[in-house]
Amino acid sequence: MELVTHKKMKAGRQMPWGKGTVVTGAKGYVFLAGNTGTAGNYDPSTGKGGSVGDAAAQWRSILMNIKSDLEELGSSLEHLIKITQYVKGPFPDGGALSSPNFRLDVMDEFFAEHCPKHCSYNNPPPSEVIGVAALAHPDLVIEIVAVAALPD
């Protein structure tokens, strides 16, 4: 299997997300459900139970969940194709990137440790950052969806 992520350039500067990933020879794909930073006692049917407190802690929890889920399903961070980040407001400057809940620094720290090729300053997979008014639980500030290839 081969994954080639093409860099996104603007005015000669590399952007912190990839243009696209071309996958050849994969035996399949893993489409993960949205991951959130809820605590173990969270019950989605009632909305009761705690969730992880601050944005940075939620990001770390989610990224570790994604890593574990991919490994459990036969893939890994190395085989990430695309990620979508849903970030809860506020949006002081009008865009999702201005939210204090958008933590690219935490994502880069995680990938530097677990999969350096996906750091925003290296050659990350394509991604979207979408600003939202609310997520499944009022204490949640980030939800991440990931797609990865299954190696042959």
pTM for this entry = 0.86
Q: pLDDT tens, 20-31? A: 778 888 899 999
Beta-carbon contacts of 117 under 8 Å, excluding residues fewer than 6 positions away, are 78, 111, 123
Structure tokens at 62: 């989610």
Q: pLDDT tens, 29-63? A: 999 999 998 877 777 777 777 777 689 999 999 99
Q: Is 117 helix (H, G, I), strand (E, B) or coil?
A: helix
